[in-house]
């Protein structure tokens, strides 16, 4: 099999029937540079028609029509919304976590270095998603999703979680002031920082930090789909990579999960 793929899946979520999911790469869509090709981010500067087509392509992979996909207005928060029906774009709430017990609704996450997290509880049949950059991770968006899933009947010990491709530690250099709020929250976070080649700077392990927080929230089954969105340009969009190059435009990748009807 080629090293280049257009979709990744988690064995943790595939272990039980009743759910479909995907971490989509930037491949397989209709957009043109700099959004080539499966850009799913409305507001990115790409043609809305192409973005709509890309979302439809992604949903077809999950055997759904495009109107079954719901995505929040992501704002790097710990706000979680329970979804009972699909919404129009103008109705999308400001949130970074979504949960549902309704089959046939695809919960979507957009990201370009932030971590997309998908959750599934196979007995209560509850799913969730989280969009976790460093702000949302520190604020507890993953734990907030877990709490909202339990409000819908899920049990923590049965929840499975998968952290999708995001910026890897080797690519995530941060300044000298960055670790302090993480250490103030939990001294154990020190293990997710190593010194960077640049004096006084650090490299931050976002995926590992999130995994530790999810484990502390009582989730025993968790998988990190380990890919570096910054370094693996052929497969992923990256906000950080675009900034380092002085590029103003970048695409957004989609991750999604849906309960089977």
DSSP 8-state assignment for residue 34? T
What topology does CATH give the domain 8-168+205-259?
A: 3.60.140
Degrees, nearest 5: CA angle 20-142-165: 55
Rounded average pLDDT over 195-212? 97
| Beta carbons within 8 Å of 218's beta carbon, 6+ residues apart | 146, 156, 157
Confidence band, pLDDT 50/70/90 cuts, at residue 204: very high
pLDDT of residue 221: 97
| DSSP E strand stretches across 97-190 | 97-100, 106-111, 115-121, 126-132, 160-163, 173-174
Whether residue 137 is preceded by a cis peptide bond, meaning omega within 30 degrees of 0, is no
Q: What is the pLDDT of residue 1?
A: 34
The domain spans of the chain are 8-168+205-259
| Predicted confidence (pLDDT) per residue in 64-94, tens digit | 999 999 999 999 999 999 999 999 999 999 9
Q: How confident is the model at residue 2 (pLDDT cuts 50, 70, 90)?
A: very low
Confidence of residue 3 (pLDDT cuts 50, 70, 90): low
CA 38 to chain centre: 16
Distance between CA 97 and CA 74 in Å, rounded? Answer: 9
Query: What DSSP character marks residue 37?
Result: T
pTM of the model: 0.97
What crossing angle do the helices spanning 206-216 and 141-151 adopt, rounded to 10°? 40
Query: What pLDDT was estimated at residue 5?
Result: 79
DSSP state of 84: S
């Amino acid at each position: 099999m080629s090293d280049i793929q257009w979709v990744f899946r988690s064995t943790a979520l595939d272990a039980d029937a009743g759910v479909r999911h995907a971490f989509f790469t930037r491949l397989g869509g209709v957009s043109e540079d700099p959004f080539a090709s499966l850009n799913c981010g409305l507001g990115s500067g790409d043609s809305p028609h192409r973005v709509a087509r890309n979302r439809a392509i992604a949903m077809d992979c999950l055997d759904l029509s495009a109107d079954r996909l719901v995505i929040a207005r992501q704002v790097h928060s710990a706000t979680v919304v329970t979804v009972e029906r699909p919404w129009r774009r103008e109705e999308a709430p400001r949130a970074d976590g979504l949960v549902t017990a309704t089959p046939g609704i695809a919960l979507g996450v957009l990201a370009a270095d932030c971590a997309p997290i998908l959750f599934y509880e196979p007995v209560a049949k509850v799913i969730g998603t989280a969009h976790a950059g460093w702000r949302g991770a520190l604020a507890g968006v993953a734990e907030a999703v877990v709490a909202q899933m339990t409000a819908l009947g899920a049990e923590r010990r049965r929840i499975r979680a998968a952290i999708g491709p995001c910026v890897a530690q080797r690519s995530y250099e941060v300044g000298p002031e960055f670790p302090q709020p993480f250490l103030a929250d939990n001294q154990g976070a020190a293990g997710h920082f190593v010194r960077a080649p640049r004096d006084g700077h650090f490299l931050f392990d976002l995926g590992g930090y999130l995994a530790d927080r999810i484990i502390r929230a009582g989730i025993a089954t968790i998988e990190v789909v380990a890919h570096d969105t910054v370094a693996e340009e052929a497969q992923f969009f990256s906000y950080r990579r675009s900034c380092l190059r002085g590029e103003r435009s970048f695409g957004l990748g989609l991750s999604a999960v849906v309960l089977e009807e």
